[in-house]
């Protein structure tokens, strides 16, 4: 299966093993690893192995992929022990919303109280 890696993409490099990451779960089409700058006791990024720019293009191109990311996030939440207490999934979509890495990722945040709205 062809995975369209982008040479200049940090998360593609993590998928290829060219940049180290603390991987917590590997799926057929996904990878989950700890955020380098955690904002909660559990802060894991769940990404597709293939390069997809953001949640908007993922939904347009392959809705099944988003399903799989949400399923993988649930499995990580269970193994991290935050499934019961609650966790937050965030897809920052576009630079105006704080997206800095343009390879689709779900932030999985848990292990502390999370305010809403986030601000
Ligand atoms: P965004 O702001 O695009 O939604 O989130 C990007 C996330 O990637 C940030 O939370 C940031 O801490 C994380 N990040 C940036 N560089 C690295 C890295 O090299 N390794 C890991 N594990 N996380 C990273
Ligand atoms: Zn990429």
The pLDDT tens digits of the residues spanning 39-86 come to 999 999 999 999 999 999 998 888 799 999 999 999 999 999 999 999
Q: Which ligand is nearest to the CA of 9?
A: 2
Within-domain flag for 5: no
How close is the Cα of 83 to the center of ligand 1, in Å?
22
- Domain around 17: 10-106
Instruction: Count the domains in the chain.
Output: 1
Q: Is residue 111 part of a domain?
A: no
**Is 114 a domain residue?**
no
Q: Say yes or no: CB of residue 95 within 6 Å of ligand 1.
A: no
Question: What is the C-alpha to C-alpha distance for residues 61 and 37, in angstroms, rounded to an integer?
Answer: 30
- In angstroms, rounded to a whole number, what is the distance separating the alpha carbons of residues 49 and 28? 8
> Residue 14 has which token pair?
């993590």
ipTM above 0.95, yes or no: yes
């Amino acid at each position: 299966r062809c995975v369209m890696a982008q040479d200049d993409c940090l998360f593609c490099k993590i998928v290829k093993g060219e940049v180290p990451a603390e991987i917590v779960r590997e799926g057929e089409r996904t990878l989950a690893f700890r955020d380098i700058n955690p904002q909660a006791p559990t802060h894991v990024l769940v990404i597709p192995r293939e390069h997809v720019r953001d949640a908007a293009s993922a939904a347009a191109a392959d809705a099944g992929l988003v399903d799989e990311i949400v399923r993988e996030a649930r499995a990580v939440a269970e193994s991290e022990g935050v499934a019961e207490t609650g966790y937050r999934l965030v897809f920052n979509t576009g630079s105006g919303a704080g997206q800095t890495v343009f390879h689709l990722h779900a932030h999985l945040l848990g292990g502390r109280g999370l305010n809403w709205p986030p601000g």
